[in-house]
Amino acid sequence: MASALSLSLALLSATLFLASAPATDASRPSRGLGSVCRHTDYPTLCQSALGRRQHVDPISATAASVKALMAKTAQARAYAQRLITSGRVYGMGKGNLKVCKENYSDALANLATSLKNLHSRAHADLLSNLSAVGTDIDTCDDGYKETPGLRSPMVNYQKNLSKMASNCLALATAVKKGH
Ligand SMILES: *[C@@H]1O[C@H](CO)[C@@H](O)[C@H](O)[C@H]1NC(C)=O
Ligand SMILES: *[C@@H]1O[C@H](CO)[C@@H](O)[C@H](O)[C@H]1NC(C)=O
Ligand SMILES: *[C@@H]1O[C@H](CO)[C@@H](O)[C@H](O)[C@H]1NC(C)=O
């Protein structure tokens, strides 16, 4: 009787030990959505780009955020085009918008290449193509920064695109680390 009790106590403590084991691992990166976005500078924006899916590995998270950035960049390019043809923007302002539009087109091409790089696991190419995307996007702002008094009509897009590009690069970097 006594030995049966001590046996069941031993089993109980073994069970408790096993049950507590995952808790001590909680600080390790899990495969959950939150932990993937935790590697980025803008985790809230990262999560909204990934949607509601709960368990996303770094590769599919990178693919999803690249696709979300493609959609936003296409929107920004369409908006720049509408402004160019609206007749409400002229001179330097119009020139800057054309630069934005061209560079958004280049960003879209580089994003498409990034997806290919991701699927073929060409990690160095992936990082350099995503860096080029960041440069393309920030180039839109440069013309306005260099012209005092000229306000960018793209500013609302610009901030999001720039942050999303930063997140894509952070997620792509985590792919290599195996997080
Ligand atoms: C991006 O903008 C710059 C002007 O700042 C321009 O010289 C360059 O050709 C543009 N890049 C592309 C790919 O259109
Ligand atoms: C993008 O990736 C391709 C390979 O798919 C590579 O040839 C090219 O050099 C990369 N572009 C940049 C800007 O790094
Ligand atoms: C930028 O992102 C914020 C937050 O997700 C969103 O509320 C806003 O509508 C976005 N702006 C544009 C122009 O997409």
Please report, in tens digits, the pLDDT of each residue of the chain (179 residues total).
Answer: 455 555 454 444 444 444 333 333 333 444 444 678 988 999 999 998 888 765 578 899 999 999 999 999 999 999 999 999 998 888 888 999 999 999 999 999 999 999 999 999 999 999 999 999 999 999 999 888 888 888 899 999 999 999 999 999 999 998 876 54
Question: Quick one: which ligand is closest to 101's CA?
Answer: 1
Does residue 10 lie in a domain region? no
Determine if ligand 1 sits within 6 Å of the CB of residue 109: no
Distance CA 6, CA 17 (A): 16
User: Cα dist. 9→3, 16, 19, 20 in Å?
Assistant: 10, 10, 15, 16
Domain span at residue 87?
Answer: 33-177
As for how many domains the chain has, the answer is: 1
CATH number for the domain including 139? 1.20.140.40
Does residue 6 lie in a domain region? no
Q: Find out whether 70 and 179 touch, Cβ atoms under 8 Å.
A: no
Which residue lies with its CA nearest to atom 11 of ligand 2? 129
Does residue 144 lie in a domain region? yes
Does residue 7 lie in a domain region? no
Question: Quick one: which ligand is closest to 68's CA?
Answer: 3
CA 98 to ligand 1 centroid distance, Å: 9
